[in-house]
Amino acid sequence: MIQNPILPGFCPDPSIIRVGDDYYIANSSFEWWPGVKIYHSKDLKHYEQLPSPLNRMSQLNMVGEGDSCGVWAPDISWDGEYFWLIYTDVKTRTGGLFNTHNYLVKSKNIRGGWSEPVYLNSSGFDPSVFHDTDGKMYIVNMINNFKGILVQEYDPVQECLVGEAKNVFPGTGRGYTEGPHIYHIGEYYYLLMAEGGTGYDHMVTMARSKSLWGPYEEDPGNPVLTSDMENPDELQRCGHADIVCTQNGEWYMVHLCGRPPKGSRQCVLGRETAIQKMVWNEEGWLRMACGGNFGQWETEEPEGIAECIFPEEAGKDYGRDDYDIEILESGKYDNDIEKDTGKNRSSEYLDIRYTSLRQPYDSYTSLTERPGYLRLYGQESLNSCYNVSLVARRQMERHVQVETCVEFTPTCREQMAGLAYMYDTGNFYLLVKTRDEEFGNQTLDLKSPAKLRLIKSDHFDVTDVVQEISIPEETPLFLRVVTTQEGLYAKFFYSLDGKEYKELAELPTKILTDEQSDGFTGAHFGMYCHDMTGLRRYADFDYFEMKMC
């Protein structure tokens, strides 16, 4: 059986294709860089992460964009020669007046060589590419303010939209019609949509027509997929889907889901990707193979496909060996270089699973200035939407332990470095080393002790959780966060020798959830440094360890 979710922790809005014996899933990345996460599978059960396609600022510039803006709901497709990726860059999402710009890139190799973007339109978000059986291409997107589904032909030679744009379907009336995909199967054009909003009323609906342009009749069995909200132990928030046919003729649906802890509606893991086996009934409508329409924790494996575990997944223990750590594995975000999973202290690039905010980390990190360490040069504070020095990993399970070791010599209170546990610019915890002196009044000999602070930001209300602690200046500082079994709380620790840890506080993770933050991403742990004096004082991180407890 395949266990859900197949892509845990902040992997929303999945789009899936099959090319021969290979399956690829693309997920939204929002304000996290690089843009769009792509995963590869041979068996729909095990996955490896590939280089992201949007890895140049010329393809995607999110500097200054607000929380949960950026890349929404990408769609990946293949026409037999090119891979196509269409995506929305959301500039603003306030007051219903969303600024949503849709772009298209292509590549002959899914692992690299992606083109510069072609601008399409700004009429809505969640675009997809439909390749009809006659070879024509069409762009499909929802219309802003959820007014229906727009279809327009795309000319790949002229690289522009052509012909009339038409609203082919207004939605089923369940609200928030978005995430459209069109498939030409047999005599019908099938329109798959997300409706009900991306929260606990989320669902997948369907309609069909014998013409691309409609009229579309609604599936009488809608919703095709949703969640059993009366049973909180079941998979929740199921919606926003795409379908794929295996090489042996079986059908599967990948979809967004959420895993709130028992008795809670706090998705600290954000929106994730699950999969369900599907069948077509006698009337030609898509149904869950297990019956019903509730997302399930497990589904049948495809027939005739051998299990394929990738080396990275098989060895993924997130541990350290004498401080040889993940951040020193190479995984260059380059069009022509694939990820090397071997450890390499001379590497100039972070592991492919690390991410940064709104722009590449290159301008503020170094793995060569001090070999064996990640150096972060401080910039703006974490509540900025512009230049933040953070290298992070998404939280993938509720019960985790995260640890790092930092060496940092701050001269004033405007300089901080340490471990961040964060959701967005307004909601985070910081366990950091800093100093009490005001900038301009500090002494050169730094006779006063450095300070350890545990800072909480709840909707931009920034407070110290505990009284600051004096710590030695030169000693490396070990920092640790351990979440409780259900993920509802996090314990914060520090150590001066890496052996004896002292607990500072146990704090709720509610501020790091979709529900509390009104966002679409998920919690992240990261190495962090800021220097609000503009002097870019740096911090050196010896290792970064994430363990699933």
CA distance 139 to 545: 42
Look at residue 95 in the predicted model and tell me its pLDDT. 80
What is the phi/psi pair of residue 139, to 5°?
Answer: -105, 130
CB 51 within 8 A of CB 334: yes
The neighbour count for residue 82, using CB atoms within 10 Å, is: 15
Residue among 166, 164, 113, 163 at smallest CA distance from 141: 166
Task: Tell me the helices (H) and strands (E) count for the chain, helix number first.
Answer: 2, 38
Give the CA diameter of the chain: 81
In tens, the pLDDT along 65-84 reads 999 999 999 999 999 999 99
Contacts of 44 (CB under 8 A, 6+ apart): 2, 6, 23, 246, 252, 275, 301, 302, 305
CB 177 within 8 A of CB 240: no
Residue among 210, 215, 216 at smallest CA distance from 193: 216
Look at residue 446 in the predicted model and tell me its pLDDT. 58
CATH class of 2-311: mainly beta
CA distance 141 to 179: 7
Residue 397 to residues 258, 296, 515, Cα–Cα distance (Å): 12, 18, 17
Could you say which residues of the chain have pLDDT below 50? Answer: 314-346, 444
In tens, the pLDDT along 292-304 reads 999 999 999 999 9
Whether this model's pTM surpasses 0.85 = yes
Q: Where are the domains of the chain?
A: 2-311, 317-548
> Within 13 Å, how many C-alpha atoms sit on residue 70's CB side?
30
Burial 508-525 (b: 16+ CB within 10 A, else e): bbbbbbbbbbebbbbbbb
CB 279 within 8 A of CB 273: no
> Active-site residues: which are they?
13, 178
CB 334 within 8 A of CB 55: yes
Look at residue 262 in the predicted model and tell me its pLDDT. 83
Classified as helix, coil or strand, 492 is strand
Look at residue 315 in the predicted model and tell me its pLDDT. 35
- At the topology level, CATH places domain 317-548 in Jelly Rolls (2.60.120)
